[in-house]
């Protein structure tokens, strides 16, 4: 194979990889509500009243022009909590839901907001995140929020 043929084959392979990457990005953009959903906490520091957990109240808002769907358990938004330990984030607590509760995707219309709460039992630095999707038939992306807070 000559130099020109090698160059042509390399450019075709590069173009094919770029086209594939573009297709994957476009396909994912339909289900991931990137930037469409915002989470706001009612504070940055929460107090525990031992033995009770600190109650972290939060509001999720749809700031886009499209309906998005949130993870839910009944009427509340399901969340995951990460804890900051030794310079990195690690799973602290996922959310559970009783089998008799509605776990179908919770629609959030454009401009709408929902308020929910989550308990945290331990002191430390945490972040709260919720699951959302642009398509109720697709899995949730668990990056809504990532809002940092402290429990004392």
In a domain, 5, yes or no: no
Distance CA 91, CA 52 (A): 21
Q: Is residue 108 part of a domain?
A: yes
Longest dimension (CA), the chain: 76
Neighbours of 61 (CB within 10 A): 16
What are residue 100's phi and psi, to 5 degrees?
Answer: -85, 5
Residues β-bridged to residue 107: 69
Cβ atoms of residues 77 and 114 within 8 Å: yes
- 22 assigned to some structural domain: no
Q: Is residue 26 part of a domain?
A: no
Domain-located, residue 141: yes
Between 2-6, 88-92, 102-106, the lowest mean confidence (pLDDT) is in: 2-6
- The answer to whether residue 30 scores a pLDDT higher than 90 is no
Return the pLDDT at 4: 55
pLDDT, mean of residues 2-31? 42
CATH of the domain at 117: 2.60.40.2360
Report how many domains make up the chain. Answer: 1
Distance from C-alpha of 79 to C-alpha of 118, rounded to nearest angstrom:
8
Residues 124-137 have pLDDT tens digits of 999 999 999 999 99
- C-beta of residue 117 within 8 angstroms of C-beta of residue 41: no
Give me the domain span that covers residue 86.
31-151
As a whole number of angstroms, the distance between CA 49 and CA 62 comes to 33
Q: How confident is the model at residue 35 (pLDDT cuts 50, 70, 90)?
A: confident
Tell me whether residue 135 is in a domain.
Answer: yes
* Inter-residue contact 79 to 130 (CB < 8 Å): yes
Percent of the chain, pLDDT > 70? 78
Q: Residue 30 is encoded by which pair of tokens?
A: 């339909």
Does this model's pTM top 0.85?
no
In a domain, 20, yes or no: no
Q: Considering only residues 7 and 34, tell me which one the structure prediction assigns the higher pLDDT.
A: 34
Residue 32 has a pLDDT of 57
Q: Where are the alpha helices (DSSP H) in the chain?
A: 3-29
Structural domain includes residue 139: yes
pLDDT tens figures, 70-92: 999 999 999 999 999 999 999 99
């Amino acid at each position: 194979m000559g130099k020109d043929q090698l160059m042509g084959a390399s450019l075709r392979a590069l173009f094919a990889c770029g086209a594939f990457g573009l297709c994957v990005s476009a396909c994912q953009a339909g289900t991931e509500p990137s930037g469409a959903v915002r989470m706001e906490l009612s504070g940055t520091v929460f107090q525990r009243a031992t033995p009770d957990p600190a109650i972290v109240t939060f509001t999720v808002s749809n700031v886009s022009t499209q309906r998005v769907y949130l993870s839910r358990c009944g009427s509340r938004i399901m969340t995951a909590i990460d804890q900051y330990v030794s310079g990195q984030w690690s799973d602290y607590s996922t959310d559970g839901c009783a089998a008799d509760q509605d776990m179908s995707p919770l629609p959030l219309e454009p401009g709408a907001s929902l308020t929910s709460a989550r308990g945290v039992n331990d002191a430390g630095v945490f972040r709260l995140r919720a699951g959302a999707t642009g398509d109720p038939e697709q899995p949730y992306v668990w990056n809504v929020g990532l809002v940092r807070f402290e429990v004392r």
